Structure 1
C-alpha cells in the first residue's frame, strides 16, 4: 500500500519558530542601537515602577539644582556689589580724613559726596534677570531712591525714606526637607549709614567749612563699612551653604542616574554575542525551511 507523507504541519511550525526568532533578533538590534533594554516602560516588566520612581526623584532634584544655581549666582552678584560699596566707602573715608586735617575750600566736597551717593545707589539697585537683588521680596521695585533723602542736619538721624523695598529675604528649596534663606536688604543699617555719610558730604557747608559734619560723615562711613562687611560675611556663609547643597544635589543625581542605568541599560558585549547567535540560528532555520519546500512527495514514496 502506498502511504502519503505531508510536510505542511512541520513547515508551518518551522516558519512560526523562524518568525519568533526574527522578532527576538529585532529586539536585540534595537537594544544594541539604543543601549537600552527596552524603549518602553512596559518592556521593563516588574522594574518599571522602580525606574519611574527614580526618574521622578531625578526630575525633582534637577529642578532643585537649577534653583540653587540661580541662588548661588545672585548671592555672588550681591557679594561683588557689596565689595564695590566697601571700596567706595573706603575712598570716601580717605577723603573725609583728609578734609578733617586740611579742610580746603578748593576741593569740591559736594561733588565728591554726590558722586559717591550716586555710585552707592547704582550698586544697591543691582538687577539680575529683571530682579532687584537688594529689594527683599519687592523684586520689581528699585530699593533705593536717593531723591527721597532729606538734607541732613548735624547731628543727623537715620533717614530710611530712600528705601522702597522690604526686609523679606529670598529663600530656595534645596531638598525635600531643607530650605536656605539668602540675600541682604538695602534697608539695613550699613546701607543707610553709607548713604547718609555720602549725603552729608554732598550737602556739606563749605563757607565756612562745617567740620562737625565732616567728622560725623567720617564716623558714619566707618560704621557703614563695619555693617557692609558684616553683610558680606553673611552672604559668604549663605553662598557656602548653597554650594554645599549643590554638591549634594549633584552627588544624588549621579547616584540616581547610575541606578536607572543599571535597570535600563544593556550589556553591549552580551547583546553583540546574542545577535551573532540569533543570526546563525536564523540562517540555519531559513536553510532548513528552504530545503523542506524543495522536497517532493515522490521523495517519500
Structure 2
C-alpha cells in the first residue's frame, strides 16, 4: 500500500512539474510571438498601471491632434479669403483716391467709377458668403448653414449669421477663434459697415457734380471722405484678423509639434514597459524546451520501472 502511494505521489509530482513547464513554455512562446513582456497585469502591476496612464494620454493627444488639424484647416481657409478681402479693399482705396477730387471728373467718368465700386462691393459680398470644404459658411458664426450676408433688391446688405465667432479648444486650457464672422470683419467699422459706405459713394458718383450747388458738392465730398475713413477702419480690422489667424496658426503648428514629440516619448516609454527582450526570451524558451524534453524522457523511463508496473 505504501509502495503504491509512493508511486502515485511520484507520478503526480512529475506530472505537475511537467504541466508547470508546459505552461512556462507556452508563456514564453506567447511573449516571443507577441513581442510583449506584459501578457497580463499581474506580470508587473506597476508597469501595467503606468501603461494604462500612457494609453489614456495617447488617446487625449490623438483627439487634440484631430481637432487641431481641423482648426488649422479652418483658419487657413478663412485666412485665404481674408487676404482676398484685403486685396479688394486696397482696390477700393485706390478708387476712392481717384474720385476724391470730383471737380476734375465728368459725369461719364463718375458713372464708370460708380460701376467699378459696385463690382468691388459685389466681390466683398461674395467673399463674405464663402463656404469651406465641408459646405459650411465660414463667416456665419455657428449658423453655418445660413449665408451670413443678404442683399435686398435695393442693394442694402445685412448680416444674417450667428452672433458669436466659431472657437475651438486646441488644448486643455487654450481656445482659439477659427472662424470670425462677417459682422466682425466687414460690418463693424465706424459703427456702420463698409457696404453702407460704398452704397453712399455709388449714389454720390451717380449724381451729376458740375451742375450741383456748392452745398451739394460739399456734401458729396463729405461722403467720399467718410467712406475713406470707414475703409481705413475696415482695413485695420482685416489686418488685425489676418495677424490673429496667422499667430494662431503658428501656435497650432507648435502645439502639434509638441504633441508629436510627447507621443514619441510616450511610445518609447511604453516600449520599455511592454516590449519583451527577444534574445533573452528565446534563450529561456530553448532552455525550458530542453528541460521539457528531458522531463518527457525521464517520465517515459519511469513508466517502465517495476514501481509503476505494480500500479497496473
TM-score by length of 2: 0.75
List per-residue Cα deviations over 1:144-169 (Å, max 9, x = no partner). 22338765xxxxxxxxx612234423
Tell me the secondary structure at the aligned position of residue 182 of structure 1.
strand
Are the equivalent residues in 2 in contact too, given 1:109–1:201 (CA < 8 A)?
A: no
1:141 aligns with 2:146: yes
Are the equivalent residues in 1 in contact too, given 2:38–2:274 (CA < 8 A)?
A: yes
Q: CA RMSD in A?
A: 3.5
List per-residue Cα deviations over 1:95-151 (Å, max 9, x = no partner). 444455774626744543333233222322233334333223333332222338765
Q: Cα gap change, 1:133/1:5 in structure 2, threshold over 3 Å: closer, same or farther? A: closer
Q: Cα gap change, 1:226/1:173 in structure 2, threshold over 3 Å: closer, same or farther? A: closer
Q: Cα gap change, 1:204/1:34 in structure 2, threshold over 3 Å: closer, same or farther? A: farther
Deviation, 1:85, is 0.7
List per-residue Cα deviations over 1:253-279 (Å, max 9, x = no partner). 333333333222222222222222222
Are the equivalent residues in 1 in contact too, given 2:35–2:275 (CA < 8 A)?
A: yes
Structure 2 counterpart of 1:120: 124
- Partners of 2:279 and 2:119 lie apart in 1 by 71
2:294 aligned residue (284, 297, 300):
284
Structure 2 counterpart of 1:80: 80
1:181 aligns with 2:186: no
Tell me the secondary structure at the aligned position of residue 159 of structure 2.
coil
- Partners of 1:108 and 1:281 lie apart in 2 by 100
- Partners of 2:307 and 2:60 lie apart in 1 by 69
Are the equivalent residues in 2 in contact too, given 1:54–1:260 (CA < 8 A)?
A: yes
Structure 2 counterpart of 1:268: 278
Q: Cα gap change, 1:269/1:298 in structure 2, threshold over 3 Å: closer, same or farther? A: closer
Are the equivalent residues in 1 in contact too, given 2:95–2:117 (CA < 8 A)?
A: no
Deviates more, 1:54-63 or 1:140-149: 140-149
Q: Cα gap change, 1:15/1:103 in structure 2, threshold over 3 Å: closer, same or farther? A: farther
Tell me the secondary structure at the aligned position of residue 32 of structure 1.
helix
Alignment coverage as a number of residue pairs: 288
- Partners of 1:252 and 1:293 lie apart in 2 by 60
Deviation, 1:7, is 4.8
Deviates more, 1:134-143 or 1:106-115: 106-115
Are the equivalent residues in 2 in contact too, given 1:171–1:182 (CA < 8 A)?
A: yes
Larger relative helix fraction: 2
2:235 aligned residue (225, 244, 247):
225
Deviates more, 1:3-12 or 1:51-60: 3-12
Structure 2 counterpart of 1:255: 265
Are the equivalent residues in 2 in contact too, given 1:169–1:181 (CA < 8 A)?
A: no
